[in-house]
Amino acid sequence: MDDRQLLLTAVKAADDKRAEDIVILNMKGISLVADYFIICHGNSDKQVQAIARELKEKMSENDIQIKRMEGFDEAKWVLVDLGDVVAHIFHKDERSYYNLERLWGDAPHENVSSELNK
Q: Tell me the per-residue pLDDT of 17-54, one tens digit each, with 9 for 90 and over.
A: 999 999 999 999 888 889 999 999 999 999 999 999 99
Higher pLDDT among residues 118 and 105, named by residue: 105
Percent of the chain residues past pLDDT 90, beyond the cut: 71
9 — pLDDT class (breaks 50, 70, 90): very high
* CA atoms of 118 and 107, how far apart (whole Å): 26
Element (H, E) at 90: strand 85-91
- The reported pTM is 0.92
CATH 3.30.460.10 fits 3-109, yes or no: yes
pLDDT value, residue 97: 92
How does DSSP assign 21-57, residue by residue? EEEEEE-TTT-SS-SEEEEEEESSHHHHHHHHHHHHH
